[in-house]
Amino acid sequence: MNVDLGNALAAEASPGISRENLERLDERVAGAHERIEAGIEAREHGYAALALPETVDTDAIAAAVEPFSDSEAVLTVGIGGSALGAATIADALDSDVEAYFLDNVDPEQVTTLLADLPLASTTVNVVSRSGTTAETLANFLVVRDAMADAGVDWTDRTFVTTGESGPLRELADRHDLPSLPVPDGVPGRFSALSTVGLACAAIQGHDLDALVAGAADQRERLSDSLFDSPAYAYGAICYALDVRGASVNAMLPYAESLETFAEWFAQLWAESLGKDGLGQTPARALGATDQHSQLQLYRAGPRDKMVTFVRPRERADRAIPETEFEALSYLGGTGLGDLLDAEFEATEASLAAAGRPNVRVEIDRVDERGLGELLYAMEAACVLAGELYGVDTFVQPAVEWGKNAARGLLGGGDFPEADAVDAKRTLRIE
């Protein structure tokens, strides 16, 4: 993996950072690194996620899901960080075992999905640290019911990943369900490389050790200088550009298989850094498609953005046949991948020519190892950025209010927040 900051320097872009100020920022990176290393060593809350390459037990995960090696499909029931890591891996890597996700409570989507699934050969992978997440439990109850209706014994096909106590843990104990623990100190959005993200990957037959090896490689590169660590280089440049005005970070992978990665990144970035009035807004995009959608804004709109390009250096190409269209004859003999790469470089240069800051992140291939590098590096980048902003990276207090209100509205207790819902001011235009 490498990160190229050339197009984010002040000589090229506005906002941009001068080489001199980047050196000054590097002194702060050294201090932040010391803090992060101490946190990793002590397995402190949150920082423990960056210790996962050493602490995760891939053999235990493989053993726990072994009863489901006959699966045609795996249905992960979880929301937010309990689903996005697994979904990112599933969408990036090919598998004969199809992966599905119930990460919302839309009744129409749930009904459509359950009608299509081969329930008798589907593994249901229920994920919730607390075991009380309303959306996840509600979906699980519906799925369990659908299995019963289909004559499938749900206790044969359910796998649970949850904390040491709570309703899901009790359920697993009562019915002797195969299960894995959620590791201590690893917040949901940092859990892709733990049991939370890897159980689904194991059921799909992916190489967990290669995923972890990629992560370990980036772990080893964490150092006291951003110039020696792709992860820190990325975290530092995002921070530096944000405080100089790039309040939006458009994540633009040039590989369809990384589309969900952009979503995972958006959660990591938004929930970790979005607090105290601070935090860069992640925008999820996709190359080359969004050249025909967002590029106009990125190149000619307000100077409040940076663009992060991500691409694999190698991919399986597909030849473009020779054509009778004269205007397109230059395409004949090239491949779709050549076209995609040319558009990548052209779009990057197009933003640079307009003085719009952008960063290039490259992995060798979209495979287990490359993905492990990418996920770990982005997590470490986020932790570094949190240190530079000085925020509490590993909490998300602002979501509690709404949870209480929703619970109150559903008759789940007396919550003053629910009363505020009825007091809504309206100015309605029909």
Q: Which stretch binds a second copy (CB under 8 A): 28-36, 178-186, 194-202, 278-286?
A: 278-286
Site for a second copy, residues 249 to 268, rule: CB under 8 A: 255-257, 263, 266-267
User: Per DSSP, which regions of 273-417 are E strands?
Assistant: 281-284, 305-312, 358-363
How far is Cα of residue 427 from the mean position of the Cα atoms in its chain?
37
Binding a second copy (rule: CB under 8 A), the pick from 55, 62, 334, 364 is: 334
Binding a second copy (rule: CB under 8 A), the pick from 167, 178, 181, 205 is: 167
Query: Minimum distance between the CB of residue 42 and a second copy, rounded to whole angstroms?
Result: 25
Quick check: 94 binds a second copy (CB under 8 A)? Answer: yes
Residue whose CB is less far from a second copy, 210 or 395: 395
The token duo for 228 is 């020696």
Site for a second copy, residues 195 to 224, rule: CB under 8 A: none
Report DSSP letters for 88-153, one per residue: HHHHHS--SSEEEEE-S--HHHHHHHHHHS-GGGEEEEEEESSS--HHHHHHHHHHHHHHHHTT--
Quick check: 325 binds a second copy (CB under 8 A)? Answer: yes
Binding a second copy (rule: CB under 8 A), the pick from 46, 305, 307, 381 is: 305
The token duo for 32 is 């932040």
Quick check: 63 binds a second copy (CB under 8 A)? Answer: no
Binding a second copy (rule: CB under 8 A), the pick from 293, 313, 314, 390 is: 293
Q: Which of 135, 271, 348, 379 is catalytic?
A: 271
> Residue 189 has what DSSP assignment?
G
> Residue 317 has what DSSP assignment?
-
Quick check: 30 binds a second copy (CB under 8 A)? Answer: no
Q: Which of 20, 108, 292, 424 is catalytic?
A: 292
The token duo for 253 is 């992978």
CA pseudo-torsion sign 185, 188, 192, 194: positive
Identify whether 275 is a catalytic site residue.
Answer: no
Residue whose CB is less far from a second copy, 68 or 140: 140
Binding a second copy (rule: CB under 8 A), the pick from 20, 70, 96, 107 is: 107
Alpha-carbon gap, residue 237 to 309, rounded angstroms: 14
Alpha-carbon gap, residue 195 to 158, rounded angstroms: 15
Identify whether 292 is a catalytic site residue.
Answer: yes
Alpha-carbon gap, residue 146 to 133, rounded angstroms: 20
Residue whose CB is less far from a second copy, 67 or 167: 167
Binding a second copy (rule: CB under 8 A), the pick from 88, 294, 308, 393 is: 294
* Per-residue binder mask for a second copy (CB under 8 A), 121-150, x = binder: -----------x-xx-xxx-xx-xx-----
Binding a second copy (rule: CB under 8 A), the pick from 42, 60, 63, 328 is: 328
Binding a second copy (rule: CB under 8 A), the pick from 96, 108, 176, 414 is: 108
Phi, psi torsion values for 116, nearest 5 degrees: -90, -25
Quick check: 81 binds a second copy (CB under 8 A)? Answer: yes
Alpha helices in 244-367 (DSSP H): 259-273, 295-300, 336-353
Query: Minimum distance between the CB of residue 189 and a second copy, rounded to whole angstroms?
Result: 8
Residues β-bridged to residue 312? 363
Identify whether 305 is a catalytic site residue.
Answer: no
Quick check: 297 binds a second copy (CB under 8 A)? Answer: yes
Rounded to a whole number of angstroms, the CA Rg of the chain reads 23
Site for a second copy, residues 355 to 394, rule: CB under 8 A: none
> Residue 17 has what DSSP assignment?
B
Quick check: 335 binds a second copy (CB under 8 A)? Answer: yes
Question: For the chain, first and last CA: distance in Å?
Answer: 53
Alpha-carbon gap, residue 377 to 221, rounded angstroms: 9
Quick check: 21 binds a second copy (CB under 8 A)? Answer: no
Alpha-carbon gap, residue 302 to 333, rounded angstroms: 39
Quick check: 10 binds a second copy (CB under 8 A)? Answer: no
SS3 347: helix
Q: Which stretch binds a second copy (CB under 8 A): 39-47, 66-74, 197-205, 346-354?
A: 346-354
Query: Minimum distance between the CB of residue 89 and a second copy, rounded to whole angstroms?
Result: 16
SS3 390: coil
What amino acid positions are annotated as catalytic residues? 271, 292, 403
